[in-house]
Amino acid sequence: MTARAEAPRELTTPRLVLRQFNADDHPAFADMCADEAVMRHIGRGGPLSPHDAWRSMAAMLGHWALLGFGQWALEERATGQLIGRAGFLQPAGWPGFELGYLLARPHWGRGLAREACHAAIDVARHHLGRTQAISLIRPDNTASIRLAESLGARLGERIDFLGGPVLRYEHHWAPPSGPPNHGTSG
């Protein structure tokens, strides 16, 4: 059996700690997932119950256990507060290796998702040996479209996914030529 590439379980950026979810995150994550504005473009669209938010956290942890990569919980370094999630998804039947993100509404517009995505891309290149990913974005999610484009993604095809149309943005990166750029990892 060959060893699989694995992503670091924790990273730091200037303003964030990207780490594994834990049980103490549930209240903040459930509040975030109950916000209609936050969840409007996620999955099938619409808020999640606290039970479904718990299942979502458990699925993210399971993704790490099964594949060696996944979504990190985003903790604001200055406050220690859980403010979102970011990282990669590729469960069975998914249309590709997806870079995804979600932030609580009070943290929108501060560049935090972009900061987290840059760290994730660095991990994909240096630790997972990936040179491409996708982002699946609902057509009316202009903020996520702007973020994907600012990360260098280009619009690919429009597909039907999870009950509605999504735009498949494609990210392509050069193979790494030096050490990772993210902060400390463990």
Number of structural domains, the chain?
A: 1
Residue 154, domain member (yes or no): no
Low pLDDT (below 70) residues in the chain = 1-3, 178-186
Tens digits of residue pLDDT in 24-60: 999 999 999 999 999 999 988 899 999 999 999 999 9
3-state secondary structure of 170: strand
Residue 57, domain member (yes or no): yes
Residue 45, domain member (yes or no): yes
pLDDT of residue 175: 82
Angle between the N-to-C axes of helices 112-126 and 142-150, in degrees from 0 to 180, rounded to the nearest 10: 50
Rounded CA separation 69/61 (Å): 9
Residue 145, domain member (yes or no): no
CB 85 within 8 A of CB 64: no
CATH number at residue 88: 3.40.630.30
Residue 86, domain member (yes or no): yes
Residue 164, domain member (yes or no): no
Domain coverage including residue 45: 11-129
